[in-house]
């Protein structure tokens, strides 16, 4: 009997986590094989490997403990991959050589996957003097453009997506440009942006006082603090960015404040990290731990929770020792502090199963109690590991126990730490869990409320056939099994029916016992006033949150799918857009249709021949592969490389028309050539033009210089209908929504942060 409670769960496992050979043949025949692979790999760090393998397997069984995707997909595969989810890169020096050294390190890290964060506050502002070269500085925003291009290039080569976070202090002279940078729709698409807000700035906002923008000892401008705050809020209100990080609180509450300073986070904000900091993530599935759900005696099995947390802490601690790292600095940082980020998922479902309305005072109190229990169990488990294996190398009992986060920890836990030390400097974090929550049977994600009780998902299979399936929330499915088609009780609420203050209440309740931070989106109604919207951020600050991310539907960012307030049923999206099954590169059929084009570059003795083959999917032709040939052996190496790179991008699917624009933008410093009355800046640009004309001829793009061709089958909205949201870059559906701090597609699960 399958362990999967829903078809989507098995699909996610097969697409994302199942170990397969290079030819696609499965190695993990069942999900039990996946659990066994992970358990065996993490038990390698133990002396009694067999005993701990069984204990770890039991924790993974039935989706009770959910290691983050990189652990689930990578542990025990023998592949040279990191099992860490997120990194913050080294401090960026304010010099050209140092900046590009950091760019190289970022590229090496991104090749292995994972989200990475940077603080760009260390780069001098635009217009500042550059000593020794009689020039003005171009400023941090210009270098962010370089990073963005690097990320795009890495991804176009077929690497796994890896989002980036850029932070900037609220007192940097270029902060106003930073706030509005992404209002240009073509700029910094691979970045999330967050402003580092200090306590002094918040006090100046409340006092309506002045605020100095400075770099080093030089004050560049003085502005009104409230005006700058309103600029941040207005950009977030209209464009959903930038986010806000309360950086002083993060440093004050950091267990390691005595040996590190934090100035950046990973892309979704749940991991504030020092330079070269790395963190691995995992989640306790609270929905699986509720006994007698929906009965008057329903309760979370706290003894089971304690045992599961202790096992999860040990598994995650072992990941530090078995993982690979892109840079030696990252390995040193991870092993010196042994930071882990144990969190939860399924919180909203668990609250429903014990009869509590998400966002209510009682639900917030219960959340705080559960998170307190998890924190106790995690810290005590880490103390036990310290007794057995030693404390983390930088542990200093007096300084550690004096940190802000340990001040309200239970006295027996503090005493145990003082006596034995602790293995892991930080232990708790609540990360985005969208994909692993689907894998676990569509439990509610992280500490978010249920977004939709049920929705219809269309899937385009590899053979061209289509399937349509209902995806039902885990708690709703249990309710149906118990009570049939009876109406859902009043305490079943969803993200759209909650007031913003209720979201903040839940985040603050969880934050009290989370020593890192929380990835959460506070959904705001479209008609919320600007002043009320600002109050959400002030409430988050006043109630102890470490950051705040909101999403307000509007004409610029689009709106999310409508959800019925009185029914578990969510209206099916009217897009008709299909989800293309593209977890792996598309399989190549035996025969493909294509065309060969001759390109004669004026200065070259031999012509170049470009063959472009197409695949038919859903009745439409789309590019699948490219071959570039020439008798000129000087062209051999780069044409082979280009062939492989472009073909890899094409086989990943989605909107690949950007390849054309990237090629056409390449300039040869030796000069271009005039061809058919047009100046072509390089031979690569000429190849881009050939590919573009082919894409036009097959109907994939509208015309030269234009994007994807519209198709009635893929139309998103009726004429005159307000936009439901941005189009998904993977499947084209207009079902993108903000969840856990990241834009995610409701239809296919695509996320810029995964």
List active site positions: 266, 268, 270
Structure tokens at 553: 């539907």
Query: 114's torsion region: left (phi>0), alpha (psi -120 to 50) or beta?
Result: left
Taking the C-alpha atoms of residue 680 and residue 688, their distance in angstroms, rounded to an integer, is: 10
**Which 8-state DSSP code applies to residue 525?**
-
Q: Is the dihedral of CA 399, 400, 405, 411 positive or negative?
A: negative
SS (H, E, C) 531-600: HHHHHHHHHHHHCCCCEECEECCECCCECCCCCCCCCCCCCCCCCCCCEECCCCCCCCCCCCEEEEEEEC
How far is residue 474's CA from residue 480's CA, in Å, rounded to a whole number?
10
Cα-flanking dihedrals φ and ψ of residue 491, to 5°?
-80, -5
Q: How many other C-beta atoms lie within 10 A of the C-beta of residue 322?
A: 15
* Phi, psi at 494, each rounded to 5°: -125, 175
Q: Are 191 and 166 in contact (CB under 8 A)?
A: yes
540-579 as b/e: b if 16+ CB within 10 A:
bbeeebbbbbbbbbbeebbbbbebeeeebbbeebebebbb
- Per the rule left: phi > 0, alpha: psi between -120 and 50, beta: everything else, 441 is left
Q: How far apart are CA 203 and CA 90, in angstroms?
A: 30
Structure tokens at 401: 């126990």
Closest-CA residue to 364 (of 353, 348, 382, 377): 348
Tokens in use for 532? 């009320």
Sign of the CA dihedral running 162, 347, 334, 247: positive
**DSSP output for 357-394:** -TTSHHHHHHHHHHHHHHHHHHHHHHHHHHHHH---TT
Q: Note the helical H segments in 221-301.
A: 225-239, 247-252
Helix residue ranges per DSSP H, 421-561: 434-439, 474-483, 500-511, 530-542
End-to-end CA distance of the chain: 30
Please tell me what DSSP assigns to residue 114. Answer: -
Instruction: Give helix 225-239 / helix 530-542 axis angle, nearest 10°.
Output: 110
């Amino acid at each position: 009997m399958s362990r999967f409670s829903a078809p989507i769960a098995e699909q996610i496992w097969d697409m994302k986590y199942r170990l397969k050979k290079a030819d696609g043949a499965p190695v993990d025949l069942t999900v039990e094989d996946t659990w066994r692979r992970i358990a065996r790999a993490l038990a390698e760090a133990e002396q009694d490997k067999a005993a701990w393998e069984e204990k770890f397997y039991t924790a993974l069984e039935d989706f009770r403990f959910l290691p983050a995707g990189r652990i689930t997909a990578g542990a025990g595969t023998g592949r040279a991959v990191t099992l860490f989810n997120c990194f913050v890169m080294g401090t960026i020096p304010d010099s050209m050589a140092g900046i590009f050294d950091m760019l190289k390190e970022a590229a090496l890290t991104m090749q292995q996957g994972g989200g990475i964060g940077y603080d760009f506050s260390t780069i001098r502002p635009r217009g500042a003097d550059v000593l020794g070269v009689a020039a003005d500085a171009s400023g941090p925003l210009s270098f962010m453009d370089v990073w963005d291009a690097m990320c795009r290039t890495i991804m176009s080569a077929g690497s796994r997506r890896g989002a980036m976070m850029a932070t900037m202090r609220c007192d940097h002279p270029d902060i106003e440009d930073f706030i509005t940078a992404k209002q240009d729709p073509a700029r910094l698409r691979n970045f999330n942006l967050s402003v580092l807000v200090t306590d002094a700035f918040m006090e100046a906002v409340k006092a309506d006082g002045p605020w100095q923008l400075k770099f080093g000892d030089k004050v560049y401008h003085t502005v009104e603090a409230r005006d700058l705050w309103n600029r941040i809020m207005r950009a977030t209100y209209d464009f959903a960015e930038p986010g806000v990080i309360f950086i002083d609180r993060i440093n004050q509450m950091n267990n390691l404040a005595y040996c590190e300073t934090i100035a950046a986070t990973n892309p979704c904000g749940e991991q504030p990290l020092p330079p070269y900091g790395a963190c691995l993530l995992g989640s306790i599935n609270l929905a699986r731990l509720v006994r007698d759900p929906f009965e008057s005696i329903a309760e979370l099995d706290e003894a089971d929770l304690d045992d599961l947390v202790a096992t999860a802490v040990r598994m995650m601690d072992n990941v530090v020792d078995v993982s690979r790292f892109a840079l030696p600095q990252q390995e040193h940082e991870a092993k010196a502090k042994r930071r882990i980020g144990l969190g939860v998922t399924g919180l909203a479902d668990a609250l429903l199963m014990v009869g509590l309305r998400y966002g209510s005072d009682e639900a917030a109190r219960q959340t705080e109690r559960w998170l307190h229990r998890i924190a106790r169990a995690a810290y005590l488990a880490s103390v036990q590991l310290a007794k057995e294996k030693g404390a983390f190398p930088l542990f200093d009992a007096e300084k550690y126990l004096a940190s802000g986060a340990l001040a309200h920890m239970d006295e027996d836990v503090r005493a145990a730490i003082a006596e034995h030390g602790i293995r892991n400097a930080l232990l708790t974090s609540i990360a985005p869990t969208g994909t692993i929550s689907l894998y676990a049977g569509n439990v509610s994600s992280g500490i978010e409320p249920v977004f939709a009780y049920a929705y219809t998902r269309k899937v385009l299979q590899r053979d061209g056939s289509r399937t349509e399936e209902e995806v039902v929330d885990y708690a709703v499915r249990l309710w149906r099994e118990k009570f049939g088609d009876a109406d859902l009780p009043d305490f079943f609420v969803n993200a759209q029916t909650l007031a913003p203050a209720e979201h903040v209440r839940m985040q603050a309740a969880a934050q009290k016992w989370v020593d890192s931070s929380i990835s959460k989106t506070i959904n705001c109604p479209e008609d919320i006033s600007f002043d009320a919207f600002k109050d959400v951020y002030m409430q988050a600050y006043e109630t102890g949150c470490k950051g705040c991310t909101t999403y307000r539907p509007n004409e610029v960012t689009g709106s999310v799918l409508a959800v019925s307030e009185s029914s578990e049923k969510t209206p099916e999206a009217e897009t008709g857009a299909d989800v293309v099954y593209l977890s792996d590169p598309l399989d190549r059929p035996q025969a493909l249709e294509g065309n060969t084009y001759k390109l004669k570059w004026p200065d070259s003795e031999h012509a170049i021949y470009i063959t472009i083959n197409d695949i038919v999917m859903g009745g439409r032709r789309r590019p699948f592969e490219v071959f570039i040939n020439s008798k000129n052996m000087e062209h051999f190496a780069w044409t082979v490389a280009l062939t492989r790179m472009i073909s890899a991008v094409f086989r990943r699917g989605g909107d690949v028309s950007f390849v054309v624009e990237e090629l056409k933008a390449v300039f040869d410093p030796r000069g271009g050539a005039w061809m058919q009355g047009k100046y072509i800046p390089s031979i690569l640009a000429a190849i881009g033009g050939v590919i573009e004309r082919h894409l036009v001829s097959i109907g994939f793009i509208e015309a030269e210089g234009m994007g994807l061709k519209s198709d009635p089958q893929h139309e998103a909205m009726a004429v005159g209908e307000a936009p439901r949201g941005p189009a998904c870059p993977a499947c084209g559906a207009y079902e993108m929504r903000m969840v856990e701090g990241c834009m995610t597609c409701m239809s296919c699960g695509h996320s810029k942060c995964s």
